[in-house]
């Protein structure tokens, strides 16, 4: 059965809309970071597809790193603490950092990560996010480059998963019945 035309999925943002928006975001990044040799930091795993499209839309010299952080459990929600599962391979002192994330939901993960990166002496730390579930925000997180604001619905596709499924969808969708 085709995964992409799965009747359990309701398309929220089409592949064409995503491509068009990311082209513009890449041009904005290229303009703002010209001559700065920024370091793009992708947050694994969800940001991988957005990151690979965004960096190819940004026609400037840049570097690439990845970081993996634990998804939060009950304890983190109160402490705001996030565990780093895979750290950067390089020092970032003096570098211009652009964190690339799939979605900002409560903002807890990103506010921790952005503060952590700033504390390492980066020259600047900014954020590019494909999706913003703004209604759910608990911690303020400035999004410098945003793809799309979305309603408070659980979405999948374009890197985002539900129990590790649906990351390969070329569009963003809402799962009608999570049990199927």
Q: How far is the CB of 148 from ligand IMP (least distance, A)?
A: 12
Would you call 177 a catalytic residue per the annotation?
A: no
Site residues for ligand IMP, 19-48, by CB under 6 A, read: 46
Q: Distance (Å, rounded) from C-alpha 25 to C-alpha 51? A: 11
Residue 172 interacts with ligand IMP (CB under 6 A): yes or no: no
From 145, 112, 108, select the one nearest 126 (Cα to Cα). 145
3-state secondary structure 6-65: CCCEEEEECHHHHHHHHHHHHHHHHHHCCCCCCEEEEEECCCHHHHHHHHHCCCCCCEEE
- Position among 12, 103, 117, 128 found at the interface with ligand IMP (CB under 6 A): 103
Using CB under 6 A as the binding rule, the residues of this chain from 147 to 166 that contact ligand IMP are 154-156, 160
Nearer to ligand IMP, 26 or 109 (CB): 109
129 scored as a contact of ligand IMP (CB under 6 A): no
Which position among 53, 105, 144, 161 bears the catalytic label? 105
In the complex, the smallest distance separating the C-beta of residue 34 from ligand IMP, rounded to whole angstroms, is 29
- Region from 5-13, 24-32, 33-41, 97-105 binding ligand IMP, contact rule CB under 6 A: 97-105
List residues with catalytic annotation. Answer: 105
Which residues bind to ligand IMP, rule: CB under 6 A?
46, 101-110, 133, 154-156, 160
């Amino acid at each position: 059965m085709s995964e992409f035309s799965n009747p359990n999925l309701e398309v929220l943002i089409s592949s064409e809309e995503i491509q068009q928006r990311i082209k513009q975001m890449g041009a904005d990044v290229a303009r703002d970071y010209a001559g700065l040799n920024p370091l793009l930091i992708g947050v694994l795993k969800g940001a991988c597809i957005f990151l690979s499209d965004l960096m190819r839309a940004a026609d400037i010299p840049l570097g690439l790193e990845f970081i993996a952080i634990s998804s939060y459990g009950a304890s983190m929600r109160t402490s705001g603490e996030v565990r780093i599962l895979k750290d950067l391979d390089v020092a970032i002192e003096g570098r211009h950092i652009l964190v690339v994330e799939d979605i900002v939901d409560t903002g807890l993960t990103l506010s921790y990560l952005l503060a952590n990166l700033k504390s390492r002496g980066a020259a600047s730390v900014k954020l590019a996010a494909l999706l913003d579930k703004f209604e759910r925000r608990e911690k303020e997180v400035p999004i410098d480059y945003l793809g799309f604001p979305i309603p408070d619905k659980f979405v999948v596709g374009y890197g985002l998963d539900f129990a590790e499924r649906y990351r390969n969808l070329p569009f963003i969708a809402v799962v009608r019945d999570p049990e199927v």
